[in-house]
Amino acid sequence: MINKKIQYFMTLAECLSFTKAASEYGVSQTAISQYIAGLEQRLGVKLFNRSPHSVSLTEAGKVYYRRVSHMLQYYEDTVAQTLAASKMYQGYVKVGIGIYEYHKTDDFFSLLLERYPDIKTDIYQYPYDELTRRLKSGELDLIVTIDLCEESFAKREIRTKRLFSSSNCVVADRSIAEKYPEHDAAAMLREEYLITNCEESGPSSMEMLRNLLVDEYGFFPERTTRTNSINAQLLMVRSKQGVAIVPDFIREIYDPEFVRVSMTSRDPYHYELMSLKNNDNPAIDLIMDLAGEM
């Protein structure tokens, strides 16, 4: 087990409060302070800036936090693989999927379980920017993601296998769409709120969305609002709070309550399985080969 005192440092680095860190572990602030002081003395560096009213990490502290985070993640992976082996699993792989992809990958993961029941597969869901970060850090072995994520890596760093392709469409509640002639998507986007899951930065950024809409319609909507999941996005569409842009493989948008207007100005996006080339987990090869059969 990792020494609990290391967790003292991690918790303090995240909450930046000796009071909160002490409360988390049921120890005194003095105990936390003494441990941090002893750690700094052993390392010969100052990890925290302290004042009567604030605590912050020094640059050395930020480096130490990042490295210890990786160490703890490696330890947790080791424990998970050890437990998997004890339950007769022959492999362990962590897969991340984006906010839309679960609508199109259930067949793939069912086939994976059928073909390789001795590989323990844990699946996590994150926004695209978080997916790429976790793949880079080694927290995930594989990600199922849109091809835009390739831009976050050098070509030599990654290998990919395409799973499917899809265009986007504008989706509106039928009562909203019928206010506009021939369900005119451009008119809807001028008058209604655009509800989007795009992030501030990363592969699926607001800037990417802006470029997409300018190419398609010649303008970007004046009014936008953001959510962080397809369920929340479609809930807002159902409640007539605006229109959304989503991949056309989302099952719910084919309900009669919705009107879909295809976007055609660019080629379909490709959704793919991606891993780092330097990840030596043997399960990755098996899963990549399986993706090639889809």
CA 232 to chain centre: 16
Average pLDDT along the chain: 89
DSSP 205: B
Instruction: List the CATH number of the domain containing 110.
Output: 3.40.190.10
Which pLDDT score, from 0 to 100, does residue 287 have? 93
Is 32 in contact with 21 (CB distance < 8 Å)?
yes
Which pLDDT score, from 0 to 100, does residue 81 have? 66
Angle at 207 between CA 181 and CA 175, to 5 degrees: 25
Is 140 in contact with 102 (CB distance < 8 Å)?
no
Which pLDDT score, from 0 to 100, does residue 271 have? 95
Instruction: List the CATH number of the domain containing 19.
Output: 1.10.10.10
Q: Kindly state whether residue 74 falls inside one of the protein's structural domains.
A: no
Residue-wise pLDDT tens digits, 70-108 = 777 777 777 776 766 666 557 889 999 998 998 899 999
Q: Which of 179, 186, 192, 177 is nearest to 223 (CA)?
A: 192
Together in a domain, 137 and 114: yes
Mean pLDDT across the stretch 255-273?
93
Scan for tokens 């909450």, then name that residue.
15
Task: Say which residues have a Cβ less than 8 Å from residue 71's Cβ, sequence separation at least 6.
Answer: none
CA distance 190 to 27: 57
Q: Which domain holds residue 122?
A: 88-165+270-291
Q: How many CA atoms lie within 13 A of 50 on its CB side?
A: 10
Of 16-25, 85-94, 112-121, 130-139, which range is least confident?
A: 85-94
Going by pLDDT thresholds of 50, 70 and 90, the confidence category of residue 187 is very high
Total domains in the chain come to 3
Task: Detail the DSSP E strand segments found in the chain.
Answer: 48-50, 55-57, 91-97, 119-125, 142-146, 158-166, 168-173, 194-196, 224-226, 243-247, 258-262, 269-276
Which pLDDT score, from 0 to 100, does residue 108 have? 93
Q: Kindly state whether residue 71 falls inside one of the protein's structural domains.
A: no
CA distance 160 to 162: 7
Q: Kindly state whether residue 73 falls inside one of the protein's structural domains.
A: no
The pTM of this model reads 0.70
Together in a domain, 175 and 159: no
CA distance 91 to 116: 9
Grouping H, G, I as helix, E, B as strand and the rest as coil, residue 271 is strand
Which pLDDT score, from 0 to 100, does residue 184 have? 93
Together in a domain, 274 and 161: yes
Q: Kindly state whether residue 75 falls inside one of the protein's structural domains.
A: no
Q: Kindly state whether residue 80 falls inside one of the protein's structural domains.
A: no
